[in-house]
Each structure stands twice: as structure tokens, then as C-alpha cells.
Amino acid sequence: MTKKVVLVVEYNGSAYKGWQAQKFGVPSVQENLEKALAVITNHPVKVICAGRTDSGVHASAQVVHFETDVERNERAWTLGVNTYLPSDISVVAARNVSDDFHARFSAVSRRYRYVIYSSDLRPAILAKGVTWTYKKLDADVMKEAAKVFLGTHDFTSFRAVGCQANTPIRTVLNFNVQKLGQYIVLDVRANAFLHHMIRNFAGVLMTIGAGEKPISWAKDVLEAKDRCQGGITAPPDGLYFVDAQYPEPFNVPTAPLGTSLFTIHRRAAL
């Protein structure tokens, strides 16, 4: 009997050309996960994720589902699958779900965090885990500017030129900016995101935080509905997919909100 299984997956995207499996020889997170699952299930597996991530982007709680006719316990779907995964990909939770669950279409919101390291000197250990800027950023100014993005808007100015979404209309449910020492974390939840949307938010807010543009520029860019007015696209290094929310009846497993960097420094500040 075919059953549906949901996994929560953590990965460091630095070595991959994004989530999605691509042509032969191009490393992706999806390809590695499907290969590992095939070993445990003894048959080919196709996984579907809550939200695709780009080249170099990370995840602390990517949600995926797949179908299988074999019976395995949670230990097999976590520890067993991890045995066949590279060290920068890990399954952190697993559960059987109902047949009507879909990792992408059942999600009511997705959440990302973008971690900026503001310092005169570049980091070494976290070189691919944060976006570094030598500029001094004012997090309070960035937080004020981000308020304009809340609600339902046409985010054409914040979508990549090659974005394939049918509409630029999205609803941003929460947008928080928090300073933790030399780190600034953008925490954004929306019903869905456009290609490069978070990185373009970050590019605009970093420009405002550095004092190069006024707070009002965020609204100007939004209302322009023109990507050319939106400034630079921030690097992928500091971007993390941290959560997908689903209706309670699906009983999807959860993981602590990432990144671990954010959690560590939040605790240290208490």
C-alpha cells in the first residue's frame, strides 16, 4: 500500500546549485536526498519541497514529501537516510502524513531568515553562512523601512528578471529586523515568495541601513513596480529557509527555527 511520508531537512547550500535536481553533473540538494532515500526504500523516489532554494541558499527546516510502498520507522527515515547523505545535508524529522498532504500546495506560509554580518573585517568560519558587509548598518532604520512591505502588494520591483511566477502579488505576513551584536537578522514570513524576493529586500534595506538612501526609498522602490529601480540583489550566503506552516490536521513535524547562529546569539543575549 502506497503511503506518504514528510521529512524536515536541514542543509548547507554552499556546495549546491540550488535545491532542484538539474542536468547530470550539477550538484543539487534534491538529487542527493532522492539517491539516499532510494537506498532505504529500494526503489526510485521523487521528493517535492515546500519552497525551492537557489544556488548557495541554506535551509534549517525545508519540508518535503514523497510516496513509498515500503514500511519504515522514523529512525530509518532520519538516521538511516542520513547515513547515505553528504555531511552538509541532514534529515532532522520524519512522519507519515495523510494522502491529501502536499509539501508545496498545502503550505499556508513560508519563512526565511537573512543573516547579515556588519564588521570592518570579513569572517572566516562563517564565510558562506552570512552575508558580510564592511558598512555600518543601522538596524532600527532598516526595521522602520521594512514596515512598508507588510501586507499584500505587487512586488515586481523585488522579483528576479527571470522569475516564472504567474503573478507578482504576494502577502507579507511578518517582517522583523533584529540586531544581535554584529549580526542583523531579517525574518520574513509570507504566503509565498518570488524568485530573489528576500535577497532584493535585503539589498534595499542594507542600502538604507548604510545611510545611502532614506527610509522612504523602500516605498519608492515598491511603488515603482520596476526591478531596475530596486538596486542590487544581495548575495545568497546569508539566506535560510527556516519554516513552512501547514494546517494543524496534517500534523507536520517541526524543527527549531534556524539558523542555529540566530538561536545561539539570542540565548546569549538573555
Q: SS3 for the chain, per residue?
A: CCEEEEEEEEECHHHCCCCCCCCCCCCCHHHHHHHHHHHHHCCCCCCEECCCCCCCCEEEEEEEEEEECCCCCHHHHHHHHHCCCCCCEEEEEEEEECCCCCCCCCCCEEEEEEEEEECCCCCCCCCCCCEEECCCCCHHHHHHHHHHHCEEEECHHHCCCCCCCCCCEEEEEEEEEEEECCEEEEEEEECCCCCCHHHHHHHHHHHHHCCCCCCCHHHHHHHHCCHHHCCCCCCCCCEEEEEEECCHHHCCCCCCCCCHHHHHHHHHHC
Strand bridging mode 239-245 / 58-68: parallel
Residues carrying an active site annotation: 54
CB-based contacts of 35: which residues, under 8 Å, 6+ apart? 84
User: Looking up cell 529512525, which residue turns up?
Assistant: 75
